[in-house]
Structure formats: C-alpha cells, structure tokens
Amino acid sequence: MSSTDTSSSTKSGGWRFGPLEALTVGLIALLIGQRWISGLFESPALQAGATIFVSIVVQAMPFLVLGVVLSAAIAAFVPTSFWTRALPKRESLAVPVAGVAGVVLPGCECASVPVAGSLMSRGVAPAAALAFLLSAPAINPVVLVSTWVAFPGNPMMAVARFVASLITSVIMGWLWMRFGRTEWLRIPSRDHLAGRSSWETFRLTATHDFLHAGGFLVIGGLTAAVLNVAVPPSVIDSLAGHALFSVLVLALLAVVLCICSEADAFVAASLSQFSLTARLAFLVVGPMVDIKLVALQAGFFGRRFASRFAPATFVVAVIVSIVVGWWLL
C-alpha cells in the first residue's frame, strides 16, 4: 500500500509534511497498533457494531459505484438537449414523469443520489430530479418483486408500496417547486470541466463523486451501526400496540436502520407484531429518508438542503403511508 508513496509533494525541492505523508504515517501507526485496536473490540456489542458498520459500507459500495458511473456517464455523454426533449416543458408535469421514470434505475438509494445530482447539473429542473431521487430506489422492479416475495400473504403490500412511494415523491417534487429556494440547494457544478474530453469528464466526475459520497456513506454507516447496537429491539417491540404511534415508531426505525431498499421488505415482514400500515410506512420512508441517505444528500446538495428536505419527506411519507394503508391494506 505504500507503493504510491512517491514523495511527490516536494514542491520547489523542499520536503513538506503533506496529506500523503500524514496518510502514510497514519497507516503505519494503525498497523503497529493492530493488536491494541482489535483488543478494544472484544465486547460482543462492539464487535456486532463493527460488523454492521462494515456490512452497510460493503453492501453499499457496488451500488455507489454503479451510481457514480451512471451519473458520470450522464454528465459526460448525454447532451443537455436530451433532457429538455425527454421531459415535459412544464415543471409541474415534469415532476410526475420523472417520478415514474424512477422505475428504470434498478438499484438502491445509494445509486440514486449521484444520478439525481447529475441530472440537475445537466439542466433537469431540481423538482423533477428530486422526484426521481425519491422514487427510484422505492419503485424499481427489483424492489417491488422482493416486496412481493417477502409478503406471501399480502400481495397488496407491493402495490401499496408502489403507490405510496410514487405519490410521496411527486408531492415532494411539487412542494419543492412551490416552496423550495434555490439558495438552499447546492447543485453539483461541472462548469470547470467544460472543454475537457468526454472520457476525461467521465473519469474525473466518477472518481470525485465516489470519493465525496463514500465519505458520507461512512458517516451514515457508523451512525446506523451505533444506533443498531444501542437501541434494544425490545424497546421497539413494546411500542407496537398503539395504532398511530406504531406507524411513527416503524417510520423512525426505517430512518435509523438504513436497510437497503432491496432488503427492507424482508425485515418489514419479520416485524409482524406491527400493523400492515405501520410496516408500509417502514417501506416507504426507508428508501427516501435514512441516516446514510441524509448524509449522502448533505454531501451532494449541502446541509441546508438536507436539513429541510429530509424532515419534510419524512412527514409526507408517513402521512401518505397512513392514507394508502387505510385505503389498500
């Protein structure tokens, strides 16, 4: 791993203790202290936390790579004019169209954040890109099939999930159109890449987006692992009895657990002490608002955006789930 240590931070001949040196020293220190560090993780709770942290990051990596490759491809190879032709001119119509278009991205939420960022920087209206961001991880075929498989007794669950997720994402798009302010949203800028070749744009965008988002993914994974180990499941079980309250409890649990949208249906199925509507809220909220996702959104679009958009999405998703659950389940 130190093969890249080519002392290239020698500016104008003089040696300087730069980030590369810091990284090298840090890695050597970690290697020397391995025994001591692994000794710290002997308690079962800490070990379980470390396992969950590594699992969340490892599971998300391929999807994040897919997401940044797609978004870089959009940035580099799809001309801006394509989007103006593909989406309706009127923003209020572009929102539902973009929401439905979420069907085509067969990934989980980690992939959709960079793609939505790329759409915005290519001139797609933010409201439409946000509707896509929310719907894509929830309504794609992989997720719907796994929901259908996880609830053998309730085929309507997959339908309710599709309907509630789509409605929530479209409402959020329209809300952003009506109330969102441009200064809250930091649209990833690619202006400085103008004049570079497509290939170079692709490569630089993908690398940068990965490094950037990866760090936020780590924050999300750490938080989720800590909460997963710190909150005993028995606390959650004891709250299952109250009708409306239980919806809120499972919605919050979805935020905390950060389960991939392709797997959350199986976990929802196992939460059988809760009502179907509460479990629907779990499935609708999870892919749209969870800790790792909010961290990713903060990284891509800025904290001022994430601190407004995520709570609003949570509220809308819970209300829509209750209504759709009452109607369909």
Partner 1 sequence: MTREVQSVILFLVGGALLRISAGDVFMRYVKESMRPWLLISGALLVLAGVFVLIDVVRAARRGDVPDDDPAVVDVDEHAAEGGHDHGHHGPRSAWLLVLPVAAIFLIAPPALGAFTAGREASSVAQPADADVPPLPPGNPVTVMLADYAARAVWDDGRTLKGRTVEMTGFVTPNPKGGWWLTRLQLACCAADAIPTKIHPVGGPESLPANTWVKVVGEWVPGGGTQSDTAIPWVKVDSLAKVEEPRNPYE
Interactions with partner 1, residue window 146-175 (CB under 8 A): 146, 149-150, 152-153
282 contributes a contact to partner 1 by CB under 8 A: no
Name the minimum Å distance from CB 199 to partner 1: 10
Three-state secondary-structure class, residue 11: strand
Question: Distance (Å, rounded) from C-alpha 316 to C-alpha 86?
Answer: 28
**Looking only at Cα atoms, what is the longest distance across the chain?**
72
Cβ 124 to partner 1 shortest distance, Å: 18
Asked if 206 touches partner 1 (CB under 8 A), the answer is yes
- Which one of 264, 288, 297, 325 is in contact with partner 1 (CB under 8 A)? 264
287 SS3 class: coil
Amino acid code (one letter) for 243: A
Min dist CB 174 to partner 1, Å, is: 26
The two tokens of residue 214 are: 């990866």
Listed residue (155, 156, 162) closest to 139, CA to CA: 162
User: What backbone torsions phi and psi does residue 14 show, to the nearest 5 degrees?
Assistant: -85, 145
In the complex, what is the shortest distance from the CB of residue 241 to partner 1, in angstroms, rounded to a whole number? 15
Cβ closer to partner 1: 222 or 322?
Answer: 222
Shortest distance, position 48 Cβ to partner 1, whole Å: 5
Q: Does 212 bind partner 1 (CB under 8 A)?
A: yes
Shorter beta-carbon distance to partner 1: residue 94 or 298: 298
Q: Which of residues 90-109 bind partner 1 (CB under 8 A)?
A: none
Please report whether residue 224 would count as binding partner 1 according to CB under 8 A.
yes
**Interaction between residue 249 and partner 1 (CB under 8 A):** no
Does 118 bind partner 1 (CB under 8 A)? Our answer is no
The site map against partner 1 for 184-203 (x = CB under 8 A) is --x-xx-xxx--x------x
155, 160, 186, 174: which is closest to 99 by C-alpha?
174
Among 15, 25, 28, 62, binds partner 1 (CB under 8 A): 62
**Nearest Cα to Cα of residue 310 among 329, 286, 328:** 286
Read off the DSSP letter of residue 188.
P
Give the span between the Cα atoms of 277 and 282, in whole angstroms: 9
54 contacts partner 1 (rule: CB under 8 A): yes
Cα–Cα nearest to 300, from 111, 162, 137: 111
Pick from 138, 139, 161, 262 the residue near partner 1 by CB under 8 A: 262
Q: How far is residue 54's CA from residue 254's CA, in Å, rounded to a whole number?
A: 19
**Is 205 one of the binding residues for partner 1 (CB under 8 A)?**
yes
Quote the tokens at residue 308. Answer: 């407004």
